[in-house]
Structure 1
Amino acid sequence: MAKFLSTTSLNFYLEELIKKSTKNLILISPYLKINARLKELLEFRSDSDLKVRIVYGKKEMAQSELDWLAGQRHIEVRFCKNLHAKCYMNDANAIISSLNLYEFSQVNNNEMGVLVTRSADTEAFTDAFEEVSRILRISDLVSFGDSAAESLDVETDQALEEDEDESSDHGQKLTTSKLAKKHKMKTSDVMTRLCELEYLELRDGRHYLTDKAKESGSEVRKGRHGFYFLWLDSLNIEI
């Protein structure tokens, strides 16, 4: 039988769910700002066979959170537009609740939820698993580091020139703002042109590298201020 969970018991059972996961762990929360205790538990599982997948739905995320996720190679991160569900599931249990995986919510909010077990609540658990699987299917994989697909906005890209000036390993590659200067264009116009040439695609107000761009040698780097694109100096963007 499903067990009702208050705010305090939600946090307890969420920790237990993570600790006792053996094969699969799926954490679905629109907002992400994982508290230190849960981060510690997730980091501890990095050398195990546990497959961890996190789905979130709000682009507004602190850079420190992005940096932490980028460093967790054993965690698959996905973005799902219009996500409002909160569900935390492993192979044996599922917590369905109002609780976001957000530090403020876990400490300050009044939350409630239910714990569903696979053995005692087979039908409900199966239905929850099917919906979680659907959310995973419609979510976009988020990449980090050298294989990152996401850039920051145009103004941030201009600010990232400082990263380029301090680096000496770019070879024959330019940031978007430097590419714009070379062609005597505005950075925003270059971004638009790169979309027209199918080197970038725009999704939910963010720019992503396409396969065509990656094949041409374009990449994403991470500097002190965040992620930024690098383009071959020889890239032809003329109309």
Structure 2
Amino acid sequence: MAKFLNTSGTNYFLEELIKDARDRVILISPFLKLNDRIKELLSDKNRLKIDVRIVYGKSELQPEEINWLNDLTYVRTSFCKNLHAKCYLNEDVCIITSLNLYEFSQVNNNEMGVLLSKEDDSETFKEAYEEAQRIIRVSEEVRVSLKRIPKSEDGDAESNEDSKTEKLTTSKLAKKLGKTTEELLGIFCEKEFLEDKDGKHFITDKGKSAGGQFMPKGRYGPYFLWPAELEV
């Protein structure tokens, strides 16, 4: 039987939905600005290799969302034009609500929603799940547009072609190439893209010329970005 949710109830069951997911999580929300608790739960699902799909509908992603999403392998993000639905699912339960996946809404707004379970509301759950899958299919998976555009010294976005190139972290590029991160770091040192000083890696001018980029701040500390099509 469906359960009515107010704002606090929606927030509580949304966290439980993510925490209890064993196979998949689908989060559909026009606005996307995640609070620290939701990020923590999704990062844990990423470590457990749980498939997470986030669909949003407003193109203005915040820088913290951009950097955070770039570091997650099993969290895929899609953009859906004209999206207004707010729906959150795992393999067992579904929340249909007015609540955006937006920190301000979760704290300040008066929201309503309903909680459906696959066990008690099987037909309605199935219809909601199928509609969520349709929204995913008509959405465009975001890759390049999630990358922060580097700034020139005068503060304007760089207009050169390199700023439009898709870039991956070292670990993601290693996975794409079928190597371990340590193997790829070793190759980059051999090619003089990186220099190893007392166990710490530093990017060289040659590495920068190849499209490498040092990022001083990330969820787990400094990291490097590389062109997705870099040949090694």
Same fold by TM (over 0.5)? yes
Matched with 1:156 is 157
Summarize deviations over 1:135-176 as a string: whole Å, max 9, x none: 0001111126xxx786749941259x9xxxx97223366xxx
Answer whether contact 1:22 1:49 (CA < 8 A) is retained.
no
Q: Secondary structure in 2 aligned to 1:156?
A: coil
Summarize deviations over 1:160-197 as a string: whole Å, max 9, x none: x9xxxx97223366xxxxxxxxxxxxxxxxxxxxxxxx
Is 1:126–2:164 an aligned residue pair? no
What aligned pairs does 1:60-209 form with structure 2 within 5 A after superposition? 60-143=60-143, 152=149, 155-158=156-159, 168=205, 169-171=207-209
Matched residue type, 2:67: D
1:62 deviation in Å? 1.1
Q: Are the structure 2 counterparts of residues 101 and 167 from structure 1 closer, same or farther at C-alpha, using a change threshold of 3 Å?
A: farther
Matched residue type, 1:156: A
1:221 deviation in Å? 6.1
Q: Secondary structure in 2 aligned to 1:115?
A: strand
Is 1:51–2:89 an aligned residue pair? no
- In the alignment, the residues of structure 2 paired with residue 167 and residue 98 of structure 1 have an alpha-carbon distance, to the nearest angstrom, of 50
Matched with 1:205 is none
Q: Which runs of 5+ in 2 are unaligned?
A: 163-202, 218-224, 228-232
Summarize deviations over 1:92-145 as a string: whole Å, max 9, x none: 10000000000000000000100011111111111101110100001111126x
Q: Are the structure 2 counterparts of residues 222 and 91 from structure 1 closer, same or farther at C-alpha, using a change threshold of 3 Å?
A: farther
- In the alignment, the residues of structure 2 paired with residue 113 and residue 32 of structure 1 have an alpha-carbon distance, to the nearest angstrom, of 18
Answer whether contact 2:70 2:146 (CA < 8 A) is retained.
no
1:44 deviation in Å? 1.5
Matched residue type, 1:171: S
Answer whether contact 2:66 2:148 (CA < 8 A) is retained.
no
- In the alignment, the residues of structure 2 paired with residue 222 and residue 121 of structure 1 have an alpha-carbon distance, to the nearest angstrom, of 50
Matched with 2:24 is 24
Q: Are the structure 2 counterparts of residues 71 and 114 from structure 1 closer, same or farther at C-alpha, using a change threshold of 3 Å?
A: same
Corresponding residue pairs, total: 175
Q: Are the structure 2 counterparts of residues 221 and 136 from structure 1 closer, same or farther at C-alpha, using a change threshold of 3 Å?
A: farther
- In the alignment, the residues of structure 2 paired with residue 25 and residue 136 of structure 1 have an alpha-carbon distance, to the nearest angstrom, of 12
Matched residue type, 1:84: H
Answer whether contact 2:150 2:157 (CA < 8 A) is retained.
yes
Q: Are the structure 2 counterparts of residues 24 and 106 from structure 1 closer, same or farther at C-alpha, using a change threshold of 3 Å?
A: same
Q: Secondary structure in 1 aligned to 2:61?
A: coil
Q: Which runs of 4+ in 1 moved over 3 A?
A: 148-155, 220-225
Matched residue type, 1:111: E
Q: Are the structure 2 counterparts of residues 108 and 158 from structure 1 closer, same or farther at C-alpha, using a change threshold of 3 Å?
A: same
Q: Are the structure 2 counterparts of residues 51 and 20 from structure 1 closer, same or farther at C-alpha, using a change threshold of 3 Å?
A: same
Answer whether contact 1:151 1:229 (CA < 8 A) is retained.
no
